Amino acid sequence: MCDPEKITPEFRTCWEKACLFSFRTFQNLLGFGDIVSWVDEYHVLNELPSAQALTERLEIKGQLPEKERRSRREHPFKARYVTLRV
């Protein structure tokens, strides 16, 4: 875990480089004809977080599908706030 107050510009730069290196490395492990697919990733909360979530602070734009908020009719959970990566 990372203390949100310790996320300096230098840390963010180092984090982004490490994530992009890892992403490219695992992409290169795939052979022709291999299939990569995303599974549904829900974030389920009963209350909105008071501050931006740590995972969002360290996300790298464009590396993962975007999160979209779902209405109560669009998910099977009893929680008030649900997002889904699409």
pLDDT at 74 > cutoff 90? yes
**Containing H/E element for 44?**
strand 42-45
Burial class (CB in 10 A: 0-12, 13-18, 19+), 58: middle
Residue 77 confidence (pLDDT): 93
CB within 8 A of 4, min separation 6: which ones?
51, 54, 57
Q: What is the pLDDT of residues 35-61, one digit of tens each?
A: 666 678 898 988 876 655 655 677 787
1 vs 21: which has the higher pLDDT: 21
What CA dihedral angle connects 80, 62, 4 and 44, to 10 degrees? 20
